[in-house]
Amino acid sequence: MTAPAPDAPGYPPEFAARYRAAGWWRGETFGQMLRERAAAHPDRVAITDPAGDGRHWTYGDLDTRADRMAAGLLAHGIGKGDRVVLQLPNIAEFFEVVFALFRIGALPVFALPAHRDAEIRHFCAFTEAVAYVVADVTDGYDHRELATRVRAGVPTLKHVFVVGDPGEHTALSDVPRDPVAIPDEPEPHEVAFLQLSGGSTGVPKLIPRTHDDYLYSVRGSNEICGVDEHSVYLCALPAAHNFPLSSPGTLGALHAGARVVLAPRPSPDVAFPLIERERVTLTGLVPPLALVWLDAAPTTPYDLSSLEVLLVGGAKFSEQAARRVRPVLGCTLQQVFGMAEGLVNYTRLDDDEETVVTTQGRPLSPGDEIRVVDDQDHDLPVGATGHLLTRGPYTIRGYWRAPEHNARSFTADGFYRTGDVVRLTETGHLVVEGRAKDQINRGGEKVAAEEVENHILAHPAVHDVAVVSMPDAYLGERTCAYVVLRAGAGPLRPVEIKRFVRERGLAAFKVPDRVEFVDEFPQTGIGKVSKKDLRAALAATHSTEL
Ligand code: J2J
């Protein structure tokens, strides 16, 4: 009898030994990290949350709150290995809950605020989550109602904790208890949380990250981005996303003993006053937001002079826009090409300007192994464009509970197939040239074509569908759904398809931006839909509209 596949494929022992010997994995957990920082400088502010009347939590406050929340969660029967789906906006409670879960060894599943019924139901059901944590109402949307619907269909889901007015659920503020000894503390090599993959398949895959590997990526990022105890990091993107969480992000800032400032929204009207008031020194943005900031900065009355570093990543930042960062914002640009699965590349603070504006950086770690290969997995010479494969001390060896998918997404010797098409320069920097995965990168928000296609296919009048990217001046790409209707199905308007998708409970950013009805798709030689031809048709017909 063969043993059941583990939930999370681990690092082979010889690699783990090498990563420890190199000092990359230090045998520390996130819970211990916060404990040490709180002991070293209890009165230093860790988190500034401008919501409401504004709150400043010191390292001592955060540590105590995490302990009390951990005790309360244990009292609710939540313990090591349990999954807890977390869907919170950028508020201080996010960190209170995350560190409490880290301490008891329960695994946060990092949902995004934009997710709706379809995604949340999947995360809760697939992970057999025991709890779901939400804020009452965000941006006019009532998450308590969503929680009620999800709970009705997911038998494992015993608790819904709500920040604010709990309605029929439990108020998060009622959970904390007097601290207790943690019965079974997590080990550094164990999985700390499940991050979401951008994905190219029917449902998003879950990414198991360990304390050891993630702490290394955070520490390494701090070194590269110059984060120290004097830094002030503005969290402008959704806190749960891998980029603002770890590159170097809020966890980097907390690791360095620095301060995190939470922006409820990333727009200049919210972020610029916060930069001035809190003397923010660095932040991370996706390219469309960076463009908005670049346009708003010249006329802003706010003083942005404290800003030293702007990280831009998540999607390709155009060279033209990259060149404007220093003159307009007066700070250093760092391009970051990262992925929740692991590998993160940064341009360095001392790279020359040409490298900073024309490349997406080089790997964080000397332990990152990079291969650029052709369609048959043969290595290509430096300078040639091909598929990026990677393996290293903070890149996963497999998705959570996905053995078949893992066999496709990883090589036999453990390299992750990123789905990105890149070119290496002589200096070891990477230039992202395109993508082989069936995904649309909508300004940093990833849309898996197959996921949206499956929802559209559920429409009774739809015979077939292909979702592809179309070029967009602001977002880089938007989504277009080509739809073939069933014979005899009445004429349909694009808005009806969009509404149908929205009503199935998909995040708004996945609703197709455009719907085109066609009689048939262009075919490849082997009878598959040619998405390449569909994309080319869109580029030809719509590029003049941009
Ligand atoms: C082109 N494509 C990029 C870039 C990511 C830091 C920064 C970003 C992410 C992230 C992250 C890109 N130029 N600069 O996790 O820690 C595309 C690639 C990549 C995918 C990963 C981090 N930066 N991309 O974006 O898991 O296609 O992580 O494989 O959301 O985004 O997406 P995600």
Query: What ligand 1 atom has the least distance to the C-alpha of 361?
Result: 14
Task: Write out the chain's pLDDT in tens, 546 residues.
Answer: 566 668 999 999 999 999 999 999 999 999 999 999 999 999 999 999 998 778 999 999 999 999 999 999 999 999 999 999 999 999 999 999 999 999 999 999 999 999 999 999 999 999 999 999 999 999 999 999 999 999 999 999 999 999 999 999 999 999 999 999 999 999 999 999 999 998 888 889 999 999 999 999 999 999 999 999 999 999 999 999 999 999 999 999 999 999 999 999 999 999 999 999 999 999 999 999 999 999 999 999 999 999 999 999 999 999 999 999 999 999 999 999 999 999 999 999 999 999 999 999 999 999 999 999 999 999 999 999 999 999 999 999 999 999 999 999 999 999 999 999 999 999 999 999 999 999 999 999 999 999 999 999 999 999 999 999 999 999 999 999 999 999 999 889 999 999 999 999 999 999 999 999 999 999 888 888 999 999 998 888 765 443
Q: In total, how many domains does the chain have?
A: 2
Tell which one of 337, 396, 437, 446 to mutate to probe ligand 1, the residue whose CB is within 8 A of the most ligand atoms: 337
Give the residue whose CA is nearest to atom 7 of ligand 1: 338
| Nearest atom (ligand 1) to Cα of 312 | 14
**To test ligand 1's pocket by mutation, which of 339, 420, 430, 438 has the most ligand atoms within 8 angstroms of CB?**
339
Residue range of the domain that includes 530 = 441-545
Atom of ligand 1 nearest to the CA of 444: 25
- Cα 331 to Cα 1, 190, 279, 309, 355: the distances in Å are 60, 38, 13, 5, 16
Tens digits of residue pLDDT in 351-361:
999 999 999 99
Residue 382 lies in a domain: no
CA distances from 324 to 298, 331, 333, 464, 527 (A): 11, 10, 10, 44, 46
Within a domain: residue 278? no
* CB atoms near residue 100 (< 10 Å): 26
- pLDDT the model gives residue 545: 42
Instruction: Judge whether 165 lies within some domain.
Output: yes
Q: Does the beta carbon of 316 lie inside 6 Å of ligand 1?
A: yes
CATH number where 501 lies: 3.30.300.30
280 touches 268 (CB < 8 A): no
CA of 470 to the centre of ligand 1 (A): 19
- Any atom of ligand 1 within 6 Å of the Cβ of 417: no
Contact 514, 471 (CB under 8 A): no
Does a structural domain hold residue 380? no
Atom of ligand 1 minimally distant from the CA of 247: 16
CB 247 near ligand 1, within 6 Å? yes
Among 134, 161, 186, identify where a domain stops: 186
Cα-to-centroid distance, 339 and ligand 1 (Å): 5
Kindly report the average pLDDT of the chain as a whole number.
Answer: 96
Query: Where does a domain end: 157, 186, 215?
Result: 186
**Cα distance between residue 258 and residue 296, in whole Å:** 27
Q: CA-CA distance, 179 to 64, in Å (whole number)?
A: 8
Beta strand 170-171 with 191-196: parallel, antiparallel or unpaired?
A: unpaired
Is the C-beta atom of 336 inside 6 A of ligand 1? yes
Within-domain flag for 203: no
Is 126 among the domain residues?
yes
Does some domain include residue 213?
no
- Among 186, 211, 235, identify where a domain stops: 186
345 lines ligand 1 (CB under 6 A): no
Q: Does any ligand 1 atom lie closer than 6 A to the CB of residue 314? A: yes
ipTM tops the 0.95 cut: yes
The CA distance from 416 to 297, in Å, is 39
Quick check: 326 and 333 in contact, CB under 8 A? yes
**Closest ligand 1 atom to 197 CA:** 26
DSSP state letter for 338: E
The CB of 204 under 6 Å from ligand 1? The reply is: no
The verdict on the CB of residue 195 being under 6 Å from ligand 1 is no
Ligand 1 pocket, 110 CB below 6 A? no
Q: Is the CB of 311 under 6 A from ligand 1?
A: no
CATH of the domain at 125: 3.40.50.980
Give exposure, 181-220, as e/b (b: 16+ Cβ within 10 Å): ebeeebebbbbbbbbbbbbbbebbbbbbbbbbbbbbbbbb
Model confidence over 115-132: pLDDT tens digits? 999 999 999 999 999 999
Residue 21 lies in a domain: no
- Rounded distance between C-alpha atoms, residue 241 and residue 197, angstroms: 10
